[in-house]
Amino acid sequence: MSKLLIKNGTIVNSNDTYVSDILVENGKIVKIDKDISISDCDVIDATGKHVLPGLIDLHVHLREPGLEYKEDIESGSKAAVHGGFTGIACMPNTKPVCDNAVTVGYIVNRAKEVGLCKVYPIGAATKGLDGAELAEIGKMKKLGAVAVSDDGKPVATGQMTRLVMEYAADFSIKLHAHCEDKSLSGDGVVNEGKYSTFVGLKGIPNVSETAGVVREIAIAENFNKEVHICHVSTKESVDAIRQAKARGVKVTAETCPHYFTLTDEAIVNFDTSTKVNPPLRAESDRLAIIEGLRDGTIDAIATDHAPHHVDDKRVEYAYAAFGITGLETSFALSYTKLVKENGFTMSKLVKLMSENPAKIINVDGGKIEVGECADLAIVDLGADWVVDKTKFYSKGKNTPFDGMKVSGQVFATVFGGKIVYKEDKIYG
Amino acid sequence: MLSKKDLLGLNDVPKEEIELILDTAVNMKKLLKQGVKKLPNLQGKSVITLFYENSTRTRMSFELASKFMSAVAANISASSSSVAKGETLIDTGKTLDSMCTDVIIIRHPVGGAPALLAQNVKASVINAGDGMNEHPSQGLLDMLTMKERFGELKGLKVAIVGDIKHSRVAKSDIFGLTKMGAEVNLFAPSTLMPSGIDSFGAKICSSREEALSGANVVMGLRLQLERMKGGLFPSVAEYHEFYGINDSHLKLADSNAIVMHPGPVNRGVELSSSAIDADVSLINEQVKSGVAVRMAILSLLTKK
C-alpha cells in the first residue's frame, strides 16, 4: 500500500484555485484537506508551488517503432514527465505506420513497461497514411487508439475525409486533422512573406493551412460529425474555427507553443531548428492565436513534439526535416507567454493543457478531485530559467528555444500516485 | 580589408565595404584593360569552386580571377564528386578545409547553404549564388558597371524587369543599390513577384511604363523556361508581349539609359535582340566587370 502526501500546494483546477494538502493512496486521490497529517508515507513539500492536474499532450511523435534513432517510447516518456505531462497521444507516422491493431497494441504495452506516463496511440486514418483505404479503425480503437489521423499530411481527398469522419464516429473516436492544401504548399519550407523573400527560401502561404481547415469544417458540418483541427498556425484558421463554433459545428482545435511564441522572423539565420510544418507565421498570426486561445476558439495546447536526430537538421534548410521538439519547453513557454505576458489565469492554462485535451480524446484526467487518478504536475511559477537543450531527456535536441529565458518550471510529476520526476531526476 | 571572413550576401555588407570593393575593382579593371593578367595578390593561396548547379560565366570568371592573381585554383562539380554519393555539405566543407583551402566559392540550389558552409569551415566562403537568396558578386559587378558609366550610384534609377521571384541577382541588386542610395523599380507578372519585396526598399510597379519611365538603367532578368511548366506564365510569346523589353520601351527610359542583363540571355524573350545588341547595351561590359569585381573580392578577403 503506497501513500503519498503533497503538502501545502496551491491546487489549480479549471474552475478554482486553493491551498491544500493532497493525500494519495493506491494511485488515487483519497483526501484533499488542510493540514493532513499522516506518518509513514512519502511527502512532497509543495509550499509556494502550484499543483496542476497532469498535463496531457494531444500531439506527440514518439518515433517508435522504426525511427528509434530520433526518439523512442522510453526517451519520449522521460521527456514527457520532465515537462509535467502524464498523458501523451502519439501520432501514427512511424515505420511501419501505426495503421493496425498490432502496432497500437505494441505501443500501449511498451509504454506500460516504461511506466512513466500514459501513452495514447492515435491510429492512422487510412492504410499507410496513403489516403486510399480506411485503416482498421475499429480494431485499433479496441486496442487503445484514442483518435485517428494521417498527420504529417492531410487525409488525401475530401471524399476520404468524409468516410473517415463517418466511420470513426461509429467507434466514438474522431479525426485529428492535419489541415493543408498540398498544392498551395508546393515545396515550400517557411512561411510565405517578407522573410521568405528575404532569405530566398520557398514559402508556404497561410491559405495552404486555412483551405484545409475550411474543408474539414465543411465536411464535418455537412455530415454532422466531429473533427479536431491540429496545430493551428494562421489568423484565418482561427477565424474559420471561431465562425464554425458559432454555427454549432462540432469542431475542436489545438495550437502549439511555437505558434504563440515565435514568428517567421526567427528564420533569418537559416537555423533549421525553426523549420516546422505548418511554418512559424507572422506577428499578426501569433497575436490571433493568442486571442483564439483566450476566447476558447482554440481548445488546447499541444506540442507537436517532433524529435529529430541532429543529422536530419544539420543540412541545408530546404533539406532539413520539419519539426520542433516540444515536451520539455511547453509548460514554461505557455506560462511565460500566456499567463505572464498575456494575463491568462492558471485555471485557464490548466483547461488548455489538461482538462480540454482529456475531453477531446475522452480519457481520464484534467482535474484534481477526490477519487481521481493521481496524475499531477507540481510547478514552481517563481523559477526563472534558461532553456538548455543538452538537459532534455528527449533524443531530439531540435529546438529554437535553446538559450531562451523562461519562467515557470516543473518541480515534480506524479503519475498513478508515484513520483516519476522530481528536481532533475527521473524515477522509473 | 573586409570585416567578415566570408561574402555571403550584400544584405550584410556595410556600405563602406561595398565602396572599398568597387574602388578596388575599378583598379583591377584598369589593369585588365592594360592586358595585365598576372598579379601576386593570391600567391600561395588556394581557391576551390564548389558548384552544385550549372554555371559557365560565374565559375569561369572566378577561376580566371583567381589565376590572374596567382592562386592555385581547382573546381568541384556536384555531379563528379562524392556529393553524388550523398556526402553532406558540412562534411564536404571540412574535407576541403583539411586540404588547406583558403577560399571556397559555392553555388547551391538552396538559400542559406553558403552560410551553413561558412559556419563550419575555416576557409573564406564566397557565395556564387544560393537558391533564391543572393548572388553578391553579380550585384557588385552590376554596381561597378553602373558606377563606371554614371560616376556614382546615388540617385540612379534602376528598373529591373523579369522573374524577380526566382532571382538571387535581383535580391543582391536591391540590397546593394538601395544601400548605395539608388532607386530600384521592379516589374514582373504577379506570379513572378515575391511577396514583401517592397519592404526592402524597392518599388513594385504596376506597368512596364511606370517601371521604365526615366530610368537610367534597364535591366532584364533571365526567364527560366521551365517556369512555364509550373504554370507561372502561359507562353514565351505572351511573356514577351506583355513583360519583354524592346526598342520602343527603351524610349521611355532616360535618354542616357543603359541596358543590362546578368546573362545568359533568351533573345526575344526578356529582351528583344535589338535591345541586346544596341549601343547602349552593356551586357558584355558586365562580364568584364565580373572578372575585376571577383579579383577585388578575392584579394580583399584573403588580405591579412
Please list, in sequence order, all residues whose beta carbon lies within 8 angstroms of the beta carbon of residue B217, skipping any fewer than 6 positions away: B146, B156, B157, B158, B159, B257, B258, B260
The minimal CB distance from B199 to the residues A192, A194, A202 is found for: A194
Annotated active-site residue A35? The verdict is no
A43-53: average pLDDT? 97
Same domain, B253 and B140: yes
Same domain, B183 and B272: yes
Q: What is the pTM of this model?
A: 0.95
Whether pLDDT at A264 is above 70: yes
Residues of chain A with C-beta less than 8 angstroms from the C-beta of B194: 196-197
B195 to chain A, any CB pair closer than 8 A? The answer is yes
Number of domains in chain B: 2
CB atoms A200 and B197 under 8 Å: no
Same domain, B280 and B145: yes
Quickly state the pLDDT bin for B80 (edges 50, 70, 90).
low
pLDDT at position A428 is 81
pLDDT at position B83 is 64
**Mean model confidence pLDDT for chain A:** 97
CB atoms B168 and A200 under 8 Å: yes
Chain A nearest-CA distance from B116, in A, is: 7
CA distances A278 to A264, A373, A418, Å, are 11, 35, 37
Chain A nearest-CA distance from B133, in A, is: 4
pLDDT tens digits for range B122-140 = 999 999 999 999 999 999 9
198-237 of A, contacting B, C-beta below 8 A: 198-203
Same domain, B27 and B124: yes
B275-303: average pLDDT? 97
In a domain, A420, yes or no: no
pLDDT tens digits for range A232-257 = 999 999 999 999 999 999 999 999 99
Question: Percentage of chain A with pLDDT > 70?
Answer: 100
Residues of chain B with C-beta less than 8 angstroms from the C-beta of A202: 132
47-86 of A, contacting B, C-beta below 8 A: none
E strand or H helix at B203: strand B203-204
CB atoms B171 and A200 under 8 Å: yes
Determine the residue type at B213. Answer: S
pLDDT at position B77 is 86
Residue ranges making up the domain that contains B252: 136-284
CA distances A236 to A220, A229, A242, B286, B293, Å, are 18, 13, 10, 46, 47
pLDDT tens digits for range B35-49 = 999 999 999 999 999
A270 to chain B, any CB pair closer than 8 A? The answer is yes
Number of domains in chain A: 1
In a domain, A365, yes or no: no
CB atoms A317 and B194 under 8 Å: no
Same domain, B114 and B66: yes
CA distances A2 to A46, A419, B18, B299, Å, are 19, 11, 73, 75
CB atoms B133 and A199 under 8 Å: yes
CATH code where residue A274 lies: 3.20.20.140
In a domain, B262, yes or no: yes
In a domain, B5, yes or no: no
Quickly state the pLDDT bin for B64 (edges 50, 70, 90).
very high
Residues of chain A with C-beta less than 8 angstroms from the C-beta of B93: none
In a domain, B294, yes or no: yes
Among residues A304, A312, A375, A380, the one annotated as catalytic is A304
CATH code where residue B180 lies: 3.40.50.1370
pLDDT at position B210 is 98
ipTM for the complex? 0.93
- Residues paired with residue A51 on neighbouring β-strands, in sequence order: A11, A378
Question: Percentage of chain B with pLDDT > 90?
Answer: 91
Cα(A339)–Cα(B286) distance, rounded to whole angstroms? 58
Same domain, B248 and B297: no
Whether pLDDT at B84 is above 70: no
